[in-house]
Structure 1
Amino acid sequence: MSTNVHLTPALEKFAKDCVTEGRYNNVSEVVRSGLRLLQEAEERRRFMAMLEAIEAEIDRGEFVTHDEMMAELDAIIEAAE
């Protein structure tokens, strides 16, 4: 898949410098690396948001213990038999 990306002069210089320094083979690799970092940051952000939501539920008492969950599952299984 071919996509054109327009960089600011400063970003273009940075990308070309990365290639010149031998850190990447071409500018496309530099852009892909940056996009991977952005993707990882987004995944971390979503994960942290989920953790915060879980912590808020725990703080509000909106959880069940393992033993409570197992007892509830046992009751469901027993009722189905």
Structure 2
Amino acid sequence: MATSVQLTDDLERFARDCVDAGRYDTVTDVVRSALNLMRDVERQRAEFNAMLAAATAEADRDGVFTAEEIFAEIDAKRAGER
């Protein structure tokens, strides 16, 4: 499947600089690499949003603790260890 992409002058120059520097063989390879990075970022964003939704559901189900409650529990455990 062939797709034609129009780049701004700045992006075209950047892509050609990447090729000229030997990091990529063609501008197509530069664009393909950029799209792969975008796909990875989107996957990471989706995973983060799923984790955040799970944490929110857990907090709604089980409740939450304030920082003061957590620090008080830590202090109490430390005092009991002495």
TM-score by length of 1: 0.74
> SS state of the match for residue 15, structure 2?
helix
The residue number in structure 2 matching 1:52 is 52
1:24 offset after TM fit, Å? Answer: 0.1
**Percent of residue pairs bearing the same amino acid type:** 40
1:61 offset after TM fit, Å? Answer: 1.5
Partner letter of residue 51 of structure 1?
M
CA distance in 2, matches of 1:58, 1:3: 44
CA distance in 2, matches of 1:3, 1:56: 41
CA distance in 1, matches of 2:46, 2:19: 32
> SS state of the match for residue 60, structure 1?
helix
Partner letter of residue 19 of structure 1?
V
Moved segments of 4+, more than 3 Å: none
- Corresponding pairs, count: 62
Partner letter of residue 31 of structure 1?
V
CA distance in 2, matches of 1:45, 1:16: 29
Partner letter of residue 30 of structure 1?
V
Are 1:14 and 2:14 an aligned pair? yes
CA distance in 2, matches of 1:2, 1:23: 23
The root-mean-square deviation of aligned C-alpha atoms, in Å, is: 0.9
TM-score by length of 2: 0.73
1:42 offset after TM fit, Å? Answer: 0.5
Spell out the pairing of 1:31-46 with structure 2 (5 A cutoff). Answer: 31-46=31-46
The residue number in structure 1 matching 2:23 is 23
The runs of 5 or more residues in structure 1 that have no matched partner are 63-81
